[in-house]
Amino acid sequence: MSSTPYKLLFVCLGNICRSPSAENIMRHLIDEAGLGDHVLCDSAGTSGYHVGSAPDRRMAIAARRQGIELVGHSRRFEVADFEAFDRILAMDRSNYRDILALDRSGQYADKVMMMCDFCREHNLKDVPDPYYGGESGFNNVIDLLFDACGGLLDEIRPELDAIA
């Protein structure tokens, strides 16, 4: 068994809605699968707007309805994250471009992926930012992220089984 966990980083703009939700949903699914000791989940934002803030209250309420407690505090994505994480999952195309812009050499591009590429039921390309919308937007993001995180877990399961 490897002592180094597989590391996933979820990234959105402010790191208070989408990416902390993805981080905590993924952690929940990994724990349910009995793989909690083998995977580390974190989240970050491409902006520094909310550094140190807890997840958005409205997002936390939507997550709690689905049995997920949002924990953590906002931080900004750093160049060092490229080296530290195995996969970096962008919530939308703008986040994706902002992340890749920090990889000046292009050596980490294969680690950066779109979260919605792992959806099994939804066909959206981006996880919509619910920040300026109503309650239904937050609920929809939670549903979308459950779908994407489930697909991501299916995708990485062979790698996790190899280290478990």
The residues carrying an active-site annotation are 12, 18, 129
> What long-range pairs does 111-114 form, CB within 8 A, spacing at least 24?
111/82, 111/85, 111/86, 111/87, 112/88, 113/87, 113/88, 113/89, 114/89, 114/90
DSSP-based three-state secondary structure for 164: coil
Q: Say if residues 25 and 58 touch (Cβ distance below 8 Å).
A: no
